Structure 1
Amino acid sequence: MSAQPGRGQQVGARGMNRNSVLQRWPLVGREAELKYFDEVLPEPRSAGFLVFGPAGVGKSRLAEECLDRAVALGYRAGRAVATAAAASVPLGAIAHLLPDGADLSDPVSGFASVARLLSRPGVARPRMVILVDDVHLLDATSAMLLRQLMDAGVIFLLGTVRSGESQALAVAALGHGDAVQQVDLAGFGREQVVMVLEQVLEGPVGRSAVNHLLTTSGGNPLYLRELVVGAVTAGVLTCDGEIWDMTADRLPGTRRLTDLIRSRLSVAPLAGRQVLDLLSLCEPLSLSHLERDAEPHVLSRLEQSGLIVVVQEERRSAVRLAHPLYGEVLRADMTAQCRRDTLLRQVRLLKESGARRREDAVHLAAYKLAATGTANPALLVRAAVLAAHAREYPRALGLLRAIPQEHRGFQTQLLLGKTLYEAGDFQQAEDELSQADDMATTEQEVLSALQVRTQNLMWGLGAPYAKVLDVIESARCRVTSPLGLRVLLVNEAAAALTVGEVRHSLALSADLELEGVHAPDAQTWLWAAMTRSMALAVTGRGEEAEGWIRRAIAFSSAAGETHSTATHEVVHGAVLALALAESGRLAEAQEVGERAFAGLTDASATADRRLLAFYLARGAWAAGHPAQARRWFAEVARASRPHTPVVLSMALAGLAAAAALQGDCEAAEAALAERGRLPAAGFFPEERLGEAWLYVARGELTRSRAVLTAAAREAFERGETASEAILLTDLVRLGEAGEAARRLTEIAAECTGRFHRARADLAVAWAAHDPDGLLGAADALEAMGADLLAAEAASTAASILRAAGQTRPANAAAVRAEDLTARCEGARTPALMAREAVVRLTGREREIALLASRGMLSKDIAAALTISIRTVDNHLQRIYHKLGISTRKELADRLLP
């Protein structure tokens, strides 16, 4: 990660431009095809290798790479490009490949002459490899000659064929028989897109950016490349020092991309172009609707040309443009008058047909608004409700903002605020929700505004507790019913949880019904159950937390769509991942979280996405996978700037800890420096991990232990037992097992759960220098997925066993430690240092050894540890003697990974 730019730098600071992106663009995702070619080429019975695929999928790029490989192996090479113009001239495409002196006036003798002149008998690579791009456009004479040369073993044909052209005469002639191998190239899937982006950009890419690029490019490698080039050049795709992500919703592309698409669209006849224009504005449209204006043969030709696709949607056949980018180019080329006329015609047709489908209201309002700039307010409201329900937030916002202020009632104002919250515009959402609160006249309206507003303040803006309480108290003056007062308590419980008032949060939900079916209000129960689950997890009661969130998920599922907008499935996935992680089921937690994240779309609420990413990051940290944790924390940090300081502070602390665990002090320092510039917005003890592990990475173990001790004490006082257990376990790992073991044993007795038990057993064994206990703890931790803790336990056991002269069990423990460490993504901890050194040095000697191994002078070590220079030098002499070395360089070689 050291190659990444500093935090906050834009892409231009790296010198990344169009040329540098193009130079870095690799041939990825085609490894299987290249391997297949490598196997086919030297086989004497193989005569050719044809690559099929749609335009832009990378056929020519793959064929060129294959040809380069052939040349590297010593084959002679030739290239030809078949075109429609050359096809009108016999041998027009390959004439330049024919040897001088070849006379083709007589086909029989001419072939023999060409074969003789091209042959190189007696050499290691007698065949010539000829690449022909667009084989389907070859003339018949060229195809016949090439086939004869292939059958005679004179040439090996490497060719590309556009999808849908397999019946062309040239393809049939050159591709038949077992001697010619064929491969089909498809567009990139998600994994291939991630691979190519991270190779080109030399760093991780945010999942929202990946999704956007994959959706917009349709997986077409050529389009993807031009989109990345355009986004980088325009500063739309940037890196904040940790992760690349989008700074705007729209990808600019490039002039070359636009020209490519225009060329692709140019094959459509005039009548077909009208259909394409219509679809660019109104897709999808039913096939029966299009057939009113377009002849069936026109639609058939468009489909055969790959410009439109017909898909089955429920009980109707729907027609869409074949690629998302076609619509952008078509709309850009359309005149304003054409756009207006097309949209108004669709409005008339929809009205004439009765506009009976649910989405027709959205279409009527959107078409009218786009065509004229105005629409009936009631229609706009109805359309906005439907668009918001479908999570089409940009469209819903456009419809809502078009409603004149004098026509906005409470429900419209509330919907605007809620949609802004879901879209991630939290400050504007607060402004609109505040207005909605002022407009509320009934208790139900007050409560409706309160629920959305408090969610936005807590999860969106990360507002101070006092601010949230003020909003709740304001509502309390206008709420009198028992059910309404219950809603206020649930809101207060959620607010208390977000600022660390965990005991208060649990007290407020202590009488919550076990099942939602027994609750007076389902939506309130769901929110309360989710809040209680999170609070239980924070207090270290993972199994209880899992029980509550699973009941909430089951009830929400049984309720169907009725309550789906109140409790999104992604939030349930996030809380379940948290509960499972606290229960010690780390692998299952990661699987649940990844599955929930995979189901996200660009329409998913920003706050929900961020919550899920944070718990995935935290779970990866607990598992000892710093690269995964760092990536997730970076996503959370990017999504939290600049409006959510509380979440941003937590994400930056986690990012610093993960970077420090990888030995990247520079990145950890940058993250903590940014965190230090944030406004004070509360304190969470677990955030001190970033500072503590940066000290560890610098070798300053005393300062790290002091930070962890203070943070663990704070967590104890606040009742945040889960954080306390994490902090105490880190103290154990840094040589302070005695006192920590006592408290971890108490936690294991107070809170059920195998993770607490395993941590306590680890601490007790570490304090007692008990290798069998450490290996038993390693067994338990590995079974949970806590790979790094298990590796450290096994490593420490190996050191103890070796010091006791038990070589065979020591070696077995060391091998196991190495295997576990390999899963930990380059994590660097004192317990994973040279094993014999760890056990043979005292705590003070180990600390001085670490500082010295990192190049610190004796006077600087003395100043850092507040001891004399003489004491440092005396310690160093004893360290050298114990380890059998004599220089600091040897010390660094011995201790540093």
Structure 2
Amino acid sequence: MMSRNSLLRRWPLVGREPQLQDFDEVLRDPRRTGFLLFGPAGVGKSRLAEECLELAIAAGHRIGRAVATAAAASVPLGALAHLLPADVELSEPVSGFAAVARRLSQPGPAQSRMVILVDDVHLLDATSAMLLRQLMDAGTAFLLGTVRSGNVEESVAVAALGHGDGVLRADLDEFDRQQVETLLERVLGRSVGKHAVNQLFTTSGGNPLYLHELVLGAVEAGVLTCDGEIWEMTVDQLPGTRRLTDLIRSRLSVASPVGRQVLDVLSLCEPLSLDRLEMDADQRTLDGLEHAGLIVVAQEERRTAARLAHPLYGEILRADMPTRRRRAVLMRQMQLLRKSGARRREDAIHLATYELAATGTADPALLVRAAALATHSHEYPRALGLLQAIPQKQRSFQVRLLLGKTLYEAGEFQQAEDVLAETDAMAGDEQEVLAAVLVRTQNLIWGLGAPYEKVLDVIDAARVRISSPFGFRALKVNEAASAFAVGEFTHSLAVCADLEPDPGQAPDIQMWLMAATTRAVALAFLGRGEEAEDWARRAIAASAASGDQPDVPATHEAALQSILALALTENGRLAEARAVGEQALSGLGDTRVHTERRLLLFHLGRGAMLAGHPGEARRRFAEVVRGSRPHTAVVLPMALAGLAGAAALQGDIEAAEAALAERNGLPCSTYLPEERLGEAWLHVARGALTRARAVLTAAAQDAFERGQTTFEAILLTDLVRLGGPREAAAGRLTEIADACGGRFHRARADLAAAWAANDPDGLLAAAETLETIGADLLAAEAASTAAALLNEAGQSRRANDAAARAEAIEARCEGARTPALMARHDLVQLTRREHEIALLAARGMPSKNIAAELVISVRTVDNHLQRVYAKLGLTTRRELANRLLP
């Protein structure tokens, strides 16, 4: 566990680099006399000032420190007394100040100036400010000061010391979300999950001091933990620290008694309109709270609303509020809300939440309505709290169905199955049967990872209770959706073969949407990316035209955008696919376990791998894995395999082995040939290229037999990259491109053909196409191989150009290291066999073991190694490892 001291030591100045650079430049300029840092409490002014002081020391300046306080301000020169010569008489300011200036100054260059750090300049007494100003103007002292934002215009010291061209001002703001993420990853040393980043950023408001205390409290309480790959929150509540609580209580203590009552109300019910607040508080009180920085007033749609100025204020206010006071506030707000008519959509949620919190119960109809609205906004914990407050006896079929669906969305998959099984059993008419089966099968597959046979049993059991053609078709579409989830893409597509091209011709738009999205996914994995994109866009347009349908999972915008991102990826539009996926992800809100979120993250991770960005892919897959445990649903084994491949590409063998071990230990209900990429690239990282090629060959054959053309194309391309039978692979990739179309398939085929023919011009053309597609690693490898071939042909100028291009593209590949990338370096001189033996030897494998691995004699291994040493000018395996390994 990370301790307070270790966290303090590692807390860096992320985002403050521009101010440090400004200070360094100002300090070098003899015309400059001061540098003032402005900002609210907790943004790191003092921390940055201390760093600036270290720069001054390094530059040879003498330094002094002073802290201005309200108490010291009552005594002239109270803050600076310890810096002044003891024998200087200051009763006469003019002569005394001149004497201080003479004693503090030294002859010499600009470094003779004394740099004086004053914390909280706005609290400095007038006499101290006057003395500092004279020392600054005389060139004797350089002021480095911090100023708290607020009523600084009323400070005599700030007015006296901050004017003039010689003093530079820098304003520090709270961190934005990206700065918070960067800071957390530097401090914690690993990737940080988006949920954790969002929680910490939202709760801290970007305030560095609050953020530090929140991280410290979360780590010490075991709420923020790392699984070896990624830091993530285990619960949604951040504990904070005693220091943080004391800081905020001190900040809130400036409110008047009436103001404190307003703060209590906002802590339970924010945001509230000013009209509502003015029923219990006068305008002067509200203005005072706003002026003190405790509330923020802003225009929200058609009303002017107030909320607390910082999320943590509400945490402390609620914790300090007596139960009777809490109940009174909530009952009062319920009364006012009902009196106003509760016309806004979210008012139902507010009413239900207030009543439940105040009395422990509420009208079931109101609870259901509020829960439905909360689920639509992805507020699943709130929705669950509302639904579970309804007594068992009053839970109708619709209530149980909504509860089961919400449990599924919240990641409580076994509880969801228990509720949905009961709901399925109590279904009365055909419509209820279909509604229950749809959600239940989705939870069984994507939540529990149940065997396909069990899912089919549930569907078959529903068929005996169905009599209409519409009902049978709905179950047929449900079967197709279940089939693609377990890799039965051909069967899934066949089941949806009679789907109407125009949704307007369909008897039910929701069933059409489910079938269309299923068809799009199946087409994507069968290698028909252009058709998949077309169907995904039709589904998005049809969903938008049909209006908002929150209770049908297939029509969620994020689900549709996820499928479009998949189709765009397979169609060779990687950058667009990433943009679509990111936008959909942001629309899901901040929930840790949402199934659609995990699927989106998986598609983004997979797209990053195809782009050759293993760092990004690793972060995405790690977040999927962390959010999926302990469940063994479909996405977990795929994400673990992807994580292994990404880690292996970066040379992290230990992480790749751990991910594959966990994946192989899962009781998986399905398997996709693409998952073997992780195993293959782990062999590559170990230097065992023969084993890697064997894995890829078997997986590609498996994909071919299953008709999973997309997987086959990816596996064959990697086989070509690793020196497999390139002519055969190129021929098959050309067949795929001719049959399926799509520029990604064509680019892969052209790459393989150029590689098989040792054609540098073809490889450079392929590199250009692949870079346009966004497949950076493939493009870098193609250019690198072309550089090696041109060098062998004696075309050194063209070889250098190709190598420079490869290096530029490789810079975007996040530390990926592959055999093909090494082609433009020393390995160009080695044969394929020499290369493989050299890698194994570099990994520390003895000649005897290498011989057994490659099924050759020990003598042959040693002969190859002697030629490798001669070609590379090396003599030992240690030198070989230094040359070949990352």
Aligned to 1:87: 73
User: In the alignment, which of 35, 54, 59 is matched to residue 49 of structure 1?
Assistant: 35
Provide the TM-score with structure 2 as the length reference: 0.96
1:733 aligns with 2:744: no
Aligned to 1:490: 477
Q: Give the whole-Å Cα distance in 1 for the aligned partners of 2:348 and 2:682.
A: 57
User: In the alignment, which of 570, 576, 580 is matched to residue 568 of structure 2?
Assistant: 580
1:796 aligns with 2:775: no
Provide the TM-score with structure 1 as the length reference: 0.95
SS in 2 for 1:85: helix
1:874 aligns with 2:874: no
Q: Give the counterpart letter for 2:794 in structure 1.
A: G
1:35 aligns with 2:2: no
- Residues 1:130 and 1:741: Cα distance change in structure 2 (over 3 Å): same
1:202 aligns with 2:189: yes
Q: Is the 8 A contact 1:834 1:894 kept in 2?
A: no
Aligned to 1:7: none
Ranges in structure 2 where 5+ consecutive residues have no aligned partner: none
Q: Is the 8 A contact 1:529 1:548 kept in 2?
A: yes
Aligned to 1:807: 796
- Residues 1:147 and 1:379: Cα distance change in structure 2 (over 3 Å): same
SS in 2 for 1:263: helix
Q: Give the counterpart letter for 1:819 in structure 2.
A: A
User: In the alignment, which of 154, 161, 164 is matched to residue 150 of structure 2?
Assistant: 164
Q: Is the 8 A contact 2:632 2:667 kept in 1?
A: no
Q: Give the whole-Å Cα distance in 2 for the aligned partners of 1:854 and 1:259.
A: 55
Aligned to 2:594: 606
Q: Is the 8 A contact 1:18 1:232 kept in 2?
A: no
Aligned to 2:48: 62
Q: Is the 8 A contact 2:205 2:310 kept in 1?
A: yes
Q: Give the whole-Å Cα distance in 1 for the aligned partners of 2:297 and 2:851.
A: 75
Mapping 1:10-409, distance limit 5 Å: 12=1, 16-168=2-154, 169-409=156-396
Q: Is the 8 A contact 2:445 2:634 kept in 1?
A: no
Moved more, 115-124 or 619-628: 115-124
Q: Give the whole-Å Cα distance in 2 for the aligned partners of 1:366 and 1:728.
A: 56
SS in 1 for 2:330: helix
Post-superposition shift, 1:24? 0.5
Post-superposition shift, 1:285? 1.5
Moved more, 27-36 or 352-361: 352-361
SS in 2 for 1:337: helix
Q: Give the counterpart letter for 1:704 in structure 2.
A: A
- Residues 1:782 and 1:564: Cα distance change in structure 2 (over 3 Å): farther
Moved more, 622-631 or 802-811: 802-811
Post-superposition shift, 1:17? 1.7
Q: Is the 8 A contact 1:430 1:453 kept in 2?
A: yes
Percentage identity across aligned positions?
A: 71
Aligned to 1:9: none
Post-superposition shift, 1:836? 6.9
User: In the alignment, which of 680, 685, 697 is matched to residue 685 of structure 2?
Assistant: 697
Q: Is the 8 A contact 2:34 2:166 kept in 1?
A: yes
Mapping 1:493-504, distance limit 5 Å: 493-504=480-491
Aligned to 1:618: 606
Moved more, 877-886 or 280-289: 877-886
Post-superposition shift, 1:607? 0.6
- Residues 1:563 and 1:394: Cα distance change in structure 2 (over 3 Å): closer
- Residues 1:216 and 1:836: Cα distance change in structure 2 (over 3 Å): closer
Q: Give the whole-Å Cα distance in 2 for the aligned partners of 1:470 and 1:410.
A: 22
Question: What is the number of residues matched between the two proteins?
Answer: 883
Q: Is the 8 A contact 1:422 1:604 kept in 2?
A: no
Aligned to 2:745: 756
Q: Give the whole-Å Cα distance in 1 for the aligned partners of 2:764 and 2:167.
A: 58
Q: Give the whole-Å Cα distance in 1 for the aligned partners of 2:410 and 2:458.
A: 22
Q: Give the whole-Å Cα distance in 2 for the aligned partners of 1:304 and 1:836.
A: 65
- Residues 1:700 and 1:349: Cα distance change in structure 2 (over 3 Å): same
Post-superposition shift, 1:841? 4.0
Q: Give the counterpart letter for 2:819 in structure 1.
A: P
Q: Give the whole-Å Cα distance in 2 for the aligned partners of 1:88 and 1:123.
A: 37
What does the per-residue CA deviation read over 1:858-888, in whole Å, with 9 as the maximum and x for residues that have no partner? 1111222233323322333444455565543
Q: Give the whole-Å Cα distance in 1 for the aligned partners of 2:558 and 2:429.
A: 31
Post-superposition shift, 1:118? 2.0
Q: Give the counterpart letter for 2:739 in structure 1.
A: E
Q: Is the 8 A contact 2:485 2:634 kept in 1?
A: no
1:787 aligns with 2:767: no
Q: Give the whole-Å Cα distance in 2 for the aligned partners of 1:119 and 1:838.
A: 64
Post-superposition shift, 1:611? 0.6
Aligned to 2:412: 425
Runs of 4+ in 1 over 6 A off after TM superposition: none
- Residues 1:558 and 1:645: Cα distance change in structure 2 (over 3 Å): closer
Q: Is the 8 A contact 2:533 2:564 kept in 1?
A: yes
Aligned to 2:540: 553
SS in 2 for 1:132: strand
Q: Is the 8 A contact 2:760 2:786 kept in 1?
A: yes
Q: Give the counterpart letter for 1:319 in structure 2.
A: A
Aligned to 2:821: 832
SS in 2 for 1:51: strand
Moved more, 471-480 or 221-230: 471-480
1:707 aligns with 2:695: yes
SS in 2 for 1:417: helix
> What's the Cα RMSD here?
1.9
Post-superposition shift, 1:309? 0.8
Q: Give the whole-Å Cα distance in 1 for the aligned partners of 2:330 and 2:201.
A: 29
Post-superposition shift, 1:246? 0.9
Aligned to 1:742: 731
Q: Give the whole-Å Cα distance in 2 for the aligned partners of 1:666 and 1:111.
A: 67
Q: Is the 8 A contact 1:803 1:836 kept in 2?
A: no
Q: Give the whole-Å Cα distance in 2 for the aligned partners of 1:846 and 1:49.
A: 59
User: In the alignment, which of 401, 409, 414 is matched to residue 414 of structure 1?
Assistant: 401
What does the per-residue CA deviation read over 1:814-859, in whole Å, with 9 as the maximum and x for residues that have no partner? 2222222222222121222254765554433332222122221111
Q: Is the 8 A contact 1:391 1:604 kept in 2?
A: no
SS in 2 for 1:156: strand
Q: Give the whole-Å Cα distance in 2 for the aligned partners of 1:446 and 1:294.
A: 54
Post-superposition shift, 1:149? 2.4
Q: Is the 8 A contact 2:384 2:403 kept in 1?
A: yes
Q: Is the 8 A contact 2:424 2:436 kept in 1?
A: yes
SS in 2 for 1:318: strand
Aligned to 1:447: 434
Post-superposition shift, 1:562? 4.2
Post-superposition shift, 1:455? 2.1
1:469 aligns with 2:456: yes
What does the per-residue CA deviation read over 1:712-768, in whole Å, with 9 as the maximum and x for residues that have no partner? 111111111100001011111111212211211111111101111111111122122
Q: Is the 8 A contact 2:449 2:668 kept in 1?
A: no
Q: Give the whole-Å Cα distance in 2 for the aligned partners of 1:357 and 1:819.
A: 55
SS in 2 for 1:819: helix
Q: Give the whole-Å Cα distance in 1 for the aligned partners of 2:504 and 2:203.
A: 43
SS in 1 for 2:329: helix
Q: Give the whole-Å Cα distance in 2 for the aligned partners of 1:792 and 1:228.
A: 41
Aligned to 1:896: 885
Moved more, 731-740 or 257-266: 731-740
